[in-house]
Every structure is written in structure tokens, then in C-alpha cells.
Amino acid sequence: MYRQDEVKEASFFDTGEGLVFSYGPQHPGTGHFRLIVRVIGDTVLSAEPDPGFVHRGEEKLCEYKTWITNIPHLERPAILDAAGMLYPYCLAVEKLMGVEPPLRARYIRPIVAELNRIGSHFYYFALYGVFLGLTTPFMWAFGDREFVVDLVQFIGGQRITHSYFVPGGVRNDVPKRVPSGLVKQFRAWYRDATGRSPSSDELTDDFQKYVLRVMEFLDARLDHYWDLMLNNALFMDRTVNVGKLTAEEAAKLGVVGVTLRATGIKRDVRIDEPYDAYGEFKFDVPVRTEGDSYARAVVAFEEMRQSIRIITQAVEGLPDGPVKNKQHPVNIRVPAGEAIARAEAAHGESVYYVRSDGTDRPYRVRMLTASFRNLIVIPYLSRGAKLAEIPAIYWSQNVWPVEWDR
């Protein structure tokens, strides 16, 4: 016989039963990362993240390099968004130095940062398609991303990680011309995307005119992405009502980026705490209220359009003048103190805490990356989901595994 108070209800989530296996890192999309997944049948009991040790020691390494020689390695944890990764570091150092970049630099920085955002989001959609069995988006996104990478290369000299932002401005001015051969090729691509041929005055090798036409081209191309992915019944079947997160849960978990805005919370550092010239531009913060994997994809898609708006305004209003303050480029000394700066990177809000003891190198650098802040969502939403839903839940967060371990 048993007493009534001994009877307990037990969920199979708490039994410790099931099959445990490693999801990744051999998975084609997980990268330097695996999930330790426990299932019963195809129901996920738990999914524990196990990030790889790719960029461990970034923060400690900052203490051994100078304020300027830290720049190249700080971009590495998010090479798709090198500018967004470096942005808050430069802002924090400028706070300590009590300086502000020249006006022209404050316009150029958002141009590069938004180009990186578009390039990062193209990568996001490329792999989202691969995760769900759609291979065409992978080819499209990487093809169109080349136009973005080309522009960043013209500006900073490097295609992927640029080391372009420096405390007090940018390393060099934007070019006046782009290769004339590329302009000739681009004319045909522009016509195919937009349905019209640009006049000889609209599209020349003038850098600013070329950038404006590329933005029009990308804006037209995004219409096709909507038909290819976001209005695709197969994509919708795999993402709608999958991995739903409420606004209350998002706030409690402290998530950022598309994960936060897809729950209806309108948070964007570029609007709430404008830096450089962002306060001069008119753009919207896309939000959805569904909070599912589909909503996160739509928010990322709309963010690309808003980045195009920002770049267009920045290029059209680009002022003349110097692009960096006069200071020695390597052996600068930063006054003692501490500062915190944040920026809206491609993956979400990125925060740096920087402390100086008055020498030519930081005393302490603390990085709080957007992907790390969203990592908690993956096990949270995976519990109780079906095994086939993990790819959508995981990649819809717009995370980058290499950011997780600094």
C-alpha cells in the first residue's frame, strides 16, 4: 500500500531516459559547435550547447597588445561582421580619450557597418536554406554578397576582415573611382534585376554613384528572395510556429537582435542610443510579434532593406573633410579610466567594457557578444521540440558560433 501524498506526477523530460547523441560539429551548418541532444523518439528532451574553443583568450590577448594592434584580432570572432564586432571597441576607446571622429568618418563608419550587416544577413539566409534543404538560396546569397564584399574591399582594401575602424576615425578615405570594367559588367546585372538600364550619368566609375546603383540593385534582388524563401510553402512549413518565444521570455532571457525584435520588442542601439551619424538617418526598426523561426527570418530580411536606406542616405550626404584625428597610429596612450560602449552589430547588440591604466595598452577588455547572449535560447526552445525542428530553432537566432567563446 502507498499513501496518497507519495503519488507524484513525473514528466518523461525529467526521467533521464532516452538516447543521447552529438549533433555536430560535423553538421554542415553548426560550424565550431555541437549540441548534446537527448531524445525519446523524435522528441527533444534536452539540447545542451557545447561551443568549440575557436577564439578563446581574445579578452586576455588585449592586455598584451597595444590599443591599435588589438584591432585585427578583435574582428576575428565575427568575420562576417568585422566592422560591427570592432565598432564598440573604438567607441569605448574614444570615450576614454575624450575625442570624437571627424564628421566624414562618422558617416563612413555606418556605410561600412551596414554593408557588413547586409553581407552577414546574406550568409544567414544562405545557411538557413541549407539547414532546411533549400540549396538555391545558398547560391543566390553568396552571389549577391559579392557586390557587398567588393564595396568593402574598395573602401578598406580587404574583403572580409578590414581593420578599417580605428579610435578617432577610419584608416583611410573612401576611393573616388571603382574599376571601369566592373561598372561595365554591373550594368547588365542591374538591368536584369531592376528591369531598366541606368543612364550614363547614373552609373559611372564614380564611387558614390556606383554605390547608389548597387543599393538599388540589391533592393530589387530582395524581392526575389521573398518569393524564393519567405513566401515559399516549404520554408514556411518548417519555420512557422516553430521555436516560439514570447516577449516576456525574450526580456527574461536577455536576448538581442532579430530574436528580440521578432517578439515585438523594438530595441535597436542605433535608434535608442545613436552613435556616429546614425541619428542623422531615417530608417525603421523591423519587428514582428509571432516570435517564431519564421518571424526571425522576416525581421532579418527587412533589416537588409533598412541597411540599404541607411547606406543610401550616408552616401548622398557624405560630407567633405578629414577621416581621422591627428594622432600616432600605433603608440597612442589612453588616459586612465573605464568606459562602456555598445553598438548594434549584425547579430544584435554588442557591448565592450574597456579599462585603461594610462599606458599604451588596455588594462582590461571585456566583450559581450550578441551571439553569446542568444545562445541560451537554443536549449530553451529545443526542449519539447521535434528533432527536425532543431535546425530552424538554432539558425533562426542569427548567431555565429565563433562569437561564443572569447
pLDDT at 128: 92
Report the distance separating Cα 101 and Cα 278, nearest Å: 14
**357-363 contacts, C-beta under 8 A, 24 or more apart:** 358/333, 358/334, 359/333, 359/334, 360/66, 360/67, 360/331, 360/332, 360/333, 360/334, 361/62, 361/63, 361/64, 361/65, 361/66, 361/67, 361/70, 362/62, 362/63, 362/67, 362/70, 362/334, 363/63
Q: Compute the average pLDDT of residues 302-326.
A: 95
What values do phi and psi take at 334, rounded to 5? -105, 130
Judged against a pLDDT cut of 70, whether residue 16 lies above it is answered with: no
pLDDT at 357: 95
Question: Tell me: the pLDDT tens digits for 241-253?
Answer: 999 999 999 999 9
Judged against a pLDDT cut of 90, whether residue 182 lies above it is answered with: no
Query: Cβ contacts of residue 389 below 8 Å, gap of 6+?
Result: 44, 238, 242, 243, 382
364-368 and 43-51 strand pairing: unpaired
Q: What is the pTM of this model?
A: 0.92
Total Cβ atoms within 10 A of residue 78: 26
Question: Tell me: the pLDDT tens digits for 362-377?
Answer: 999 999 999 999 999 9
Report the distance separating Cα 346 and Cα 303, nearest Å: 9
* Average pLDDT value over all residues in the chain: 90
Grid cell locating 186: 554591373
Cα–Cα nearest to 311, from 301, 303, 321: 303
CA distances 71 to 212, 235, 296, 330, Å, are 29, 39, 31, 11
CATH of domain 51-403: 1.10.645.10
pLDDT band with cut points at 50, 70 and 90 for residue 26: low
What values do phi and psi take at 207, rounded to 5? -60, -50
Q: Compute the average pLDDT of residues 382-390.
A: 93
Q: Compute the average pLDDT of residues 253-279.
A: 96
The single-letter code of the amino acid at 29 is G
Judged against a pLDDT cut of 60, whether residue 198 lies above it is answered with: yes
**Is residue 260 a contact partner of residue 249, using CB atoms and an 8 Å limit?**
no
pLDDT band with cut points at 50, 70 and 90 for residue 303: very high
Would you give the DSSP letter of residue 105?
H
pLDDT band with cut points at 50, 70 and 90 for residue 402: confident
Longest CA–CA separation in the chain, Å: 93
Instruction: Find where cell 603608440 sits.
Output: 331
Name the more confident of 391 and 17: 391
Highest averaged pLDDT of the listed ranges 27-36, 195-204, 329-338, 379-388: 379-388
pLDDT band with cut points at 50, 70 and 90 for residue 401: confident
pLDDT at 2: 45
Judged against a pLDDT cut of 60, whether residue 5 lies above it is answered with: no
Judged against a pLDDT cut of 90, whether residue 121 lies above it is answered with: yes
Report the distance separating Cα 74 and Cα 46, nearest Å: 33
Report the distance separating Cα 346 and Cα 82, nearest Å: 10
Would you give the DSSP letter of residue 289?
S
Judged against a pLDDT cut of 70, whether residue 180 lies above it is answered with: yes
Asked if the bond preceding 25 is cis, omega within 30° of 0, the reply is yes
Grid cell locating 227: 518569393
Name the more confident of 297 and 23: 297
pLDDT at 115: 97
CA distances 367 to 22, 75, 99, 100, 364, Å, are 29, 12, 22, 22, 10
The C-alpha angle 240, 243, 244, rounded to 5 degrees, equals 80
Sheet order of strands, 43-51 included = 19-23, 33-40, 43-51
pLDDT at 126: 93
Judged against a pLDDT cut of 80, whether residue 31 lies above it is answered with: no
Q: H-type helices in 226-292, by residue range?
A: 233-239, 247-253, 257-261, 269-272
Of 91-95, 100-104, 131-135, 299-303, which range is least confident?
Answer: 131-135
pLDDT at 77: 87
Q: Compute the average pLDDT of residues 106-132.
A: 95
Domain ranges in the chain? 51-403
Report the distance separating Cα 397 and Cα 381, nearest Å: 11
pLDDT at 53: 73
pLDDT at 24: 76
pLDDT band with cut points at 50, 70 and 90 for residue 89: very high
Of 67-81, 106-120, 243-257, 262-276, which range is least confident?
Answer: 67-81
Judged against a pLDDT cut of 90, whether residue 4 lies above it is answered with: no
3-state helix, strand, coil in the chain (%, to 5): 50, 15, 35
Total Cβ atoms within 10 A of residue 402: 21
pLDDT at 307: 98
